[in-house]
Structure 1
Amino acid sequence: MDLKQLQTIKNILNEGSYLKAAEKMGYAPSTITLHIQQLEEELSIKLFEKSGRKMILTKEGEFFWKNAKSLLEHADTFKMVMSNFVSGQIGHIRLGTISTIGRSMLIPKVIDFCKEYSNIKLTFELNSSEIITQKILNNQLDIGIGFAPPTNQNLLFEPICLEPMELLLPIGHPLTKKEKITLNDLSNISLLLTESYCSYRNEIDKHFSSSGIPLKSMIQINDGRTIIQFVQAGIGCSILPVAAIEPVPDMTVRRNLANTDFGLIIGIIRRKEQLDKSSERFYNELFCELKSSHI
């Protein structure tokens, strides 16, 4: 028994004859006859009988069709679902983003997309760029917003913007009185830093190392908001992305570091292979919007 045979039964009942069913389905009349004969042989029953000029189901045929037609209905529903999936009208988008750009720029765009495509399921998480990249490689996420990952032949990275970083000081700190603050000024103060695997920390380490300046770190914290709280309490200073300290938190002062360009390139990360239609549409719309907003 296959779906073509069930579709044949449905059309015979709707049209009233083998001939009209054949015309509707674009088959030769012999093909319709063959479908019914094969199914009757398989089931060991007679499906149709003639009533006047119409073909009607036998008692056995009625029992069979009552129980079998739901298979055809489910198949039609499944075809519609698959058609919508292939066209991108339904689907599941798994998105990960670093918190700074996620909260400030991405969430409004994701909300707009969800309103326009309400049948598309979304999984949305804020995480570190390193974890996002690994989840994309493991096929746990489809699209990520983060920093340039290590070169990998399975990944694509489309740059969007530069995320600058600046110095955050507690009010009353001696460095707030200086007109220009340089890396040398930071060599003997306590810096609150993220953990060593973090992209922000790597950027800071790189600048200090290339300048030959020792880096003093009293406390390592893996959460930017907690670092800000420690700065507000006067525990130390920190170098943080501008998006994370805008507006300037209470009890702090934000300063640029002279002769030093702290910053990381942010972009969209994805696997090289084709995404499903809904994810591909989201990727293209997101990339265009984010790119245009930073031109």
Structure 2
Amino acid sequence: MELKYLTTFKTILETGSFQKAAERLNYAQSTITLQMQLLEQELSVKLFEKIGRRMELTQAGEGLLPYIDAVLEAVRQMENYGKCGHLLAGTLRIAMPETLLSYQMHQVLSAFRKLAPDVKLSLRTPNCYEIREQIISGIVDLGVHYDIGGYGASLVVEKLRDYQLVLAGSMELKQEACDFITKGQRKDIGLLTMDKNSLYHRQFEEYLRKSDITLNGEMELVSTEAIKRSVAGNLGVAYLPRFTVEEELRCGLIRELPVSIENNRITTVCTYHKNKWVTPAIDLFISLLREQAAAGGVYSDEEASDKNLYNGAE
């Protein structure tokens, strides 16, 4: 059995199609198709079926996935076996929501880059539910995301810190429009979001449902920055982690609207598969996350360099 067939198999899962896998691997699409046909012949099962435009795993393919992941992980460990145990090299694949990457990870990433300049960082920004699935399937090495539960026995989960959520609205809103506590309202204002499947968007929608508050539609935008500008322009309200709007609140560009949500906080966690080899790079990144959480999320690059965050870093 050719190892490259297994690599192609995983790439199809990551990209969602034979064509995109061919582009990533620099193969002709016919080569991808042939490799999968040969792999199916060797395994005596059908691995993929086409659902719409995506190639989805068959039930047999899902059953074989843990074995294929184990083989590829073993190969990865073998490739690093002859290297110095504390050598920081290779690729580290991390997934985290856009809000954390844009507003909370700059210092961690900067410190990591200084301590591990030879490690190639591959960053993805799916929502938390997709991150959980990508960790389980082995698409990424490490997830840093909001705690959504449902990890099962296959994942290692470490709590980092809590963040407060806030409902943000325009300074131009009239007093009655700012009321999100009185139940049974029909409000002529929309809800702005970047991802309808984000944890805090789901939480706020549940609050609106229980409070019998109906808003005038939703608008899905491309980034948190676009949401904040739209809020300031009185195009709607948005429920976001406070750290994303702290500057705008402080400068009076937007306002915090009161809500009666019992637990308006979210917890960040880092996760990885229990069978994942914790490389020196993964260990370093987790150490930096712990240091940042212990410091309340703030430390300078100089402090990060001075801390003995990783025994093998010079």
Q: What TM-score comes out, normalization by structure 1 length?
A: 0.62
Deviations 1:198-246 (A, max 9, x none): 212111023233x432332422314332222322222222222212212
How far the C-alpha of 1:290 sits from its partner, in A, is 2.9
SS at 1:208 equivalent? helix
Aligned counterparts, 1:202-217, within 5 A: 202-209=202-209, 211-217=210-216
Q: Distance in 2 between matches of 1:124 and 1:252?
A: 31
How far the C-alpha of 1:116 sits from its partner, in A, is 1.5
One-letter code aligned to 1:145: V
Q: Distance in 2 between matches of 1:278 and 1:132?
A: 22
Tell me if the contact between 1:182 and 1:258 (Cα under 8 Å) persists in the aligned partners: yes
Map of 1:120 onto structure 2:
119
Q: Number of residues paired by the alignment?
A: 215
Map of 1:282 onto structure 2:
284
Tell me if the contact between 1:97 and 1:129 (Cα under 8 Å) persists in the aligned partners: yes
Q: Percent identity?
A: 13
SS at 1:234 equivalent? coil
Q: Which runs of 5+ in 1 are unaligned?
A: 1-78
Q: Distance in 2 between matches of 1:170 and 1:100?
A: 20
Tell me if the contact between 1:164 and 1:262 (Cα under 8 Å) persists in the aligned partners: yes
Map of 2:264 onto structure 1:
262
Measured at CA, do residues 187 and 266 of structure 1 come closer, stay the same or move farther in structure 2, by a change above 3 Å? Answer: farther
Q: Distance in 2 between matches of 1:175 and 1:255?
A: 13
Correspondence 1:138 to 2:137: yes
Tell me if the contact between 1:88 and 1:281 (Cα under 8 Å) persists in the aligned partners: no
Deviations 1:222-276 (A, max 9, x none): 4332222322222222222212212117774221525434222111121122434
Map of 1:38 onto structure 2:
none
> Of 271, 286, 293, which residue of structure 2 is paired with 1:291?
293
Q: Distance in 2 between matches of 1:120 and 1:139?
A: 19
Deviations 1:15-53 (A, max 9, x none): xxxxxxxxxxxxxxxxxxxxxxxxxxxxxxxxxxxxxxx
How far the C-alpha of 1:190 sits from its partner, in A, is 1.6
Tell me if the contact between 1:169 and 1:252 (Cα under 8 Å) persists in the aligned partners: no
Deviations 1:111-139 (A, max 9, x none): 21221222222212333222322222221
Measured at CA, do residues 275 and 294 of structure 1 come closer, stay the same or move farther in structure 2, by a change above 3 Å? Answer: farther
Map of 1:74 onto structure 2:
none
Q: Which moved more, 1:279-288 or 1:141-150?
A: 279-288
Correspondence 1:163 to 2:140: no
Map of 1:147 onto structure 2:
146
Tell me if the contact between 2:148 and 2:199 (Cα under 8 Å) persists in the aligned partners: no
Q: Distance in 2 between matches of 1:106 and 1:269?
A: 16
Measured at CA, do residues 176 and 290 of structure 1 come closer, stay the same or move farther in structure 2, by a change above 3 Å? Answer: farther
Tell me if the contact between 2:94 and 2:123 (Cα under 8 Å) persists in the aligned partners: yes
Q: What TM-score comes out, normalization by structure 2 length?
A: 0.59
Q: Which runs of 5+ in 2 are unaligned?
A: 1-77, 298-314
How far the C-alpha of 1:166 sits from its partner, in A, is 1.3
SS at 2:248 equivalent? coil
SS at 1:246 equivalent? helix
Aligned counterparts, 1:65-144, within 5 A: 82-84=81-83, 86-144=85-143
Measured at CA, do residues 233 and 123 of structure 1 come closer, stay the same or move farther in structure 2, by a change above 3 Å? Answer: same
Q: Distance in 2 between matches of 1:282 and 1:256?
A: 39
Tell me if the contact between 2:231 and 2:254 (Cα under 8 Å) persists in the aligned partners: no
Q: Distance in 2 between matches of 1:110 and 1:189?
A: 42
How far the C-alpha of 1:103 sits from its partner, in A, is 2.4
One-letter code aligned to 2:189: S
One-letter code aligned to 1:272: K
